[in-house]
Structure 1
Amino acid sequence: MSVYKRPGRETYSYDFQCGGARYSGDTGKSAKRDAEKVEKSVREKVQNQLRQAKATNSEYMTFGRAATRYWNEIAQYHANAETSLRSLEWLQDKIGPATFLHDIGDDTVAQLVAERRTEVRYNVTDKETGRVSNGTVNRTVTQPLRHILNRARRIWKALVADVQWSQHMLKEPKERIREASKREENAIQDKLARGYDAAAAFAFASGCRRMEILGLRWEHVDLDGGRFTVTGKGDKSRTLPLIPRLRQIIEDCIGHNESHVFTYVASRTDKRKGLVRGKRYPLTEAGLKTAFRRAVPKAGVVDFRFHDTRHTMATRTLRKSNIRVVQQMLGHEDVATTAKYAHAVMADLAAAMDAASPTKTPTGIQDVVASSENKREIRPL
């Protein structure tokens, strides 16, 4: 029987393969014998359903098989594959790997959304607790489930229920624009451990997303040509110039790792993770998130997230150039997405208008006076 306890869990989980798909979940049992009975029951249910599907030559597909196939074909290639895997595991645990796709309707989706909203936010510290945000629910439940079911219907030709997805998307607040002052930027940098400070400095100076920075490899850097290439959302790449500040950050990382630009030094040996104290390893998403989240309050900075480094660079750049330049820098397909940074131009315009002082003589009167002085009298012949 393939039952085991995950780290920090009191109950056993099961994990097995059947019909080319992987099935895993929580048995809800703390006794191994009871957990094995649950695993056996789930396995038998899956086998019976697969036999039924083959016998009727139907287009039935279980969620376990669909999730496995989606991971193999799509999700494992996401820039944030680790987050995608956690979402798939959560969905499979709640839906059940043996559940047929055509049984996943609006009622199921509504229940999943409701349950996810009541959970405690991932990766919280003792000082930082709260419920999962609407945006997180959308990105970890509704959107990945919609992608799976849509792909199953369109590409795999499986039988899928009709779901009104727009009714399940939670309203998200408009993205705020938080620009850091130079003092705040320096303060945060001072509180970051070596390695993490380089990644944050690169973010402040380039406007790149966190996953774009973590995925930056030496093969993507052209020091002679003075440029580097990052891969953003939708696996779309863009090439940016290596301005002096960025070049210095990258050159300081030379020799740290053969493949990745940004790395950290392991503070202790961890055989489970394959870490050896004192050696360098590529930065991870979880590690950078945690380091930055802890550094901000230590620096005395309020309400600032890693993604705000992107907002900061975009706003600063817009003040010195135009919205098309910022669009190219950020990799936005539609300039309307970049337009949210127009507040920077409006703020500068407002400051200039406020600083303007009236002249002693109105411009219109000066023109009239000058015109009168230069006017020559024309007499009739």
Structure 2
Amino acid sequence: MPFRPKGSRFWHYDFQIRGRRVHGSCGTEDFAEAKGVEAEARVKAKQSLTDAPPGIFTLAEAIGTYYADIAAHQPSGRTTLSQGKALLSILDPKKRLPDLTMAEVQRYVSMRRATVANATVNRELQLLGRALRHMQRIHKASLPDLDLRSVEVAEAEERIRELTQDEQTRLLKHLRDDLHPLVKAALMTGLRLSELCSLQWSAVDLDAARIRFVQKGGKTRHFPISGEMRAFLSALPRADTLPHARHVLTYINQKAKGQPRHKISQGGGIMEVFRAAVSDAGIEDFRFHDLRHTFATRLLRQTGNLKLVSRLLGHTQIETTMRYAHVLDDDLRTALDGYSLNGQVPKKSPKRRASH
């Protein structure tokens, strides 16, 4: 377990592998990241022993190494940490990868389904698969013969909840002023909470009018900056101290002396404040992610261009965006009103003149 020596701001690791001591700095102030660094150090230490079985790693080492190598540098890093913790809460962290069985994975699925949604279980299984493949590809790990897709569970169709204009007004009325930019940015861009919280000024190019994002797999995409968004970004208040000043979206830390501006974290108290504002505004069945749904439905209704919306949402497949296609029903109904089996367009009844 990482520890912080007296006088150091960084976490350190200190452990033994077959009698050999391995110690050093994790190079980070974040405890979760430090655990990933320590796990990677254990993997490398084990690989360096000539008498160690080649390619034999534990489940904890696999997930920790995947986080340190890949996920720690992604906006969804905290989500990966949470998913990894869930996996290791049921699966044995010390289980050697070649010994992991489908029966153990199936037991994990059964236990998790009792407490979380099927979609959550599937995302965690997908993380397990990515971690195993990464260990095999990069660290030459020996893997068990597992078919993780076969134990994924059916997911309910994701509901689409759109914020009405009246609800939007009420939400902002009951939400703290310093959190208005977070909500408005979500409504203007459709970005996920993790993307908004990790957005830094270095990724914002006002001259080229675009924002750069690094997606899963290291792919880069750009989001165009509209005139309204340019004015919004230019007016944002900034934090005075690092690392908070690097972040685009900040809030007033009311618990800190002097109430400085801090970067917004994905979890914790800020989301509690948001949920309280939703409740106070009398808005039912609404989550922060529904702001992304609202952006998508409003843009699709305005443009009628499903492919455009798909690109702006960062979807890799148009099928993912099809969930929003219902907003085009009114346009389809209008088109059918102009169609007749007899080839004649039905005439609309003339409006009656008001009698005087």
* TM bracket (short chain): 0.7 to 0.9
Whether 2:162 is the aligned partner of 1:179: answer yes
TM-fit CA distance, 1:286: 0.6
In the TM superposition, what is the alpha-carbon distance from 1:21 to its structure 2 partner? 9.2
The one-letter code of the counterpart of 1:114 is S
Matched, 1:137 2:124: no
TM-score by length of 1: 0.70
1:105–1:161 contact (8 Å) kept in structure 2: yes
Structure 2 residue 309 is matched with structure 1 residue 311: no
Q: Equivalent residue for 1:263?
A: 250
> Please, which of 108, 112, 124 is the counterpart of residue 108 of structure 2?
112
The aligned runs of 1:53-202 (5 Å cut-off) are 55=51, 57-118=53-114, 131-139=115-123, 141-202=124-185
TM-aligned CA distance change 1:115 to 1:176, over 3 Å: same
CA 1:234/1:21 → structure 2, altered by over 3 Å: closer, same or farther?
A: farther
The match for 1:329 among 308, 312, 323 is 312
Aligned positions, number: 305
TM-score by length of 2: 0.74
TM-superposed CA distance for 1:316, in Å, is 1.5
Q: 1:353 to 1:73 in 2, by over 3 A?
A: same
Bigger Cα displacement from structure 2, 186-195 vs 228-237: 228-237
Query: 1:229 Cα shift?
Result: 2.8
* Corresponding residue number in structure 2 for 1:302: 284
Report deviation, 1:191. Answer: 2.1
Distance 1:245 1:16, change over 3 A: same
Q: CA RMSD in A?
A: 3.3
Deviation digits for residues 203-245 of structure 1 (CA, Å, limit 9, x no counterpart): 1122122122112211222334433333444443332333233
Q: Determine if contact 2:210/2:225 at 8 Å carries over to the other structure.
A: yes
Paired with 1:63 and 1:357, the residues of 2 have a C-alpha distance of 62
Identical-residue share of aligned pairs (%): 31
Aligned partner of 1:376 in structure 2 is: none
1:320 partner amino acid = Q
Q: Conserved in 1, the CA contact under 8 Å of 2:197 and 2:265?
A: yes
Residue 284 of structure 1: aligned partner: 265
**Cα separation, partners in 2 of 1:16 and 1:95, compared to 1, 3 Å:** farther
Runs of 5+ consecutive residues of structure 1 not aligned to the other structure: 5-14, 23-45, 119-130, 270-275, 367-381
Q: Shift in Å at residue 101 of structure 1?
A: 0.7
Partner SS for 2:153: coil
* Superposition deviation, residue 73 in structure 1: 1.0
Indicate if the aligned counterparts of 2:190 and 2:313 stay in contact, CA closer than 8 A: yes
1:227-272 Cα shifts (integer Å, max 9, x gaps):
3333444443332333233233322214335211100111113xxx
Sort the Cα spacing of 1:136 and 1:161 in 2 relative to 1 into closer, same or farther, 3 A.
same
Question: In 2 relative to 1, CA 146–17 (structure 1 residues): closer, same or farther, beyond 3 Å?
Answer: farther
State the alpha-carbon separation in 1 of the partners of residues 210 and 258 from structure 2: 33
Task: Provide the secondary structure at the position in 1 that maps to 2:223.
Answer: strand
- Which protein shows a greater Rg? 1
Moved more, 281-290 or 60-69: 60-69
Q: Unpaired runs of 5+ in structure 2?
A: 4-12, 24-41, 348-356
